[in-house]
Amino acid sequence: MWSLARALLFMIPAEEAHGVGKVLMRMLARFIPAPRKIQNNPIGLAAGFDKNAELLDVLPKFGFGHVEIGTVTPRPQGGNPRPRLFRNAENKTLFNRMGFNNLGAGIVSGRVRRIRPKLPEGFKVGINLGKNKDTPDESAAEDYAAAARSFLDLADYFVINVSSPNTPGLRALQTPEALIPILNRVRSEIESTGRSIPVWVKLAPELTGTELQTLIEALDRGGASGFILTNTQGGVYIDEGKELTGGWSGQNLTTHSRQRLIEARSYTRLPLISVGGIMTPEEALERFRAGASEIQLYTGFVYGGPFLVRNILKAIRKQA
């Protein structure tokens, strides 16, 4: 059934297909019983799929143990002009140049607030934080803190996203000098409430070697709760002769993301979430063997369909 549905969806442009896919997921969810409790489920939905918490109430039905909402910016943001999402079905990849399009922290937090009481016990809601495109780098920490402020009583964890290739200059923040102040401002917001909310940092697949080691060790000492590896891989896509810059995800990212996980595990004992190119249950198991605490899906979920999560969970139980 999924092969047929996917073939039909792939007949329309990718971003429109994503919207139709969300409608189909909600329709399918009517026939799937909701779990009462989520236990020992290390599989989440990566940021970018449900930017505005439109599917938050139905995602547990598809087997996910957590979802990462966003990327969310303090103010609403339209993102880059369309078209901005493309697929290469033959290679099982996606190319996106979305540009942190979202409804803003105020509206998204309102949605999470309404849905949160209805979620199964143990289902985790992460909030992926970003800065608005027109915010200068020297003011980035204030944007991340402002976005977090709207979710202080709602989030199970926060993610500082400085690794998207779709916001000009954002990746320049992937240095200890830039990231430590951002981390400190977000943590300060959390501490003001008396809560303890983990703050993760999401990194790009291009970071490797000494550069990756230096950054991870500095953030480890600086109070990061863990790391998410990796974001999309920066590149270009040729659309009707026009060269577009953005990020690749899917099968082409499998090796890169796995290698960054292995590298990062050698630099820190903090928890690591592996994401990028996890297309099969076998690759999911490989990530856990390589040191992942949890994994996340996005493009694998698009190509593998709504039952990929349950197939991965079956593989995990079989290995236990």
Residue pLDDT, tens place only, 214-270? 999 999 999 999 999 999 999 999 998 999 999 999 999 999 999 999 999 999 999
The mean of the pLDDT values for the chain is 96
Instruction: Say whether 188 is catalytic.
Output: no
Which of 164, 225, 257, 274 is catalytic? The answer is 164
* 34: in domain: no
Tally of domains in the chain = 1
* 11: in domain: no
* For range 292-304, the mean pLDDT: 97
* 188: in domain: yes
Q: Which tokens in the block code for residue 22?
A: 């969300």
CA distance 256 to 276: 8
* 276: in domain: yes
Q: Are 186 and 145 in contact (CB under 8 A)?
A: yes
pLDDT number for residue 254 = 98
Helix, strand, coil tally for the chain in percent (to 5) = 40, 20, 35
* 190: in domain: yes
pTM: 0.97
* 268: in domain: yes
CA distance 227 to 216: 8
* 15: in domain: no
- pLDDT tier, 75 (very low <50, low <70, confident <90, very high otherwise): very high
Domain that holds residue 75: 41-319
We report the CATH number of the domain holding residue 161 as: 3.20.20.70
The amino acid at residue 224 is: A
CA distance 275 to 287: 9
Whether pLDDT at 320 is above 80: no
> Mind listing the pLDDT tens digit for each residue in 171-202?
999 999 999 999 999 999 999 999 999 999 99
The percentage of the chain sitting over the pLDDT mark of 90, rounded to a whole number, equals 96
The percentage of the chain sitting over the pLDDT mark of 70, rounded to a whole number, equals 100
* 25: in domain: no
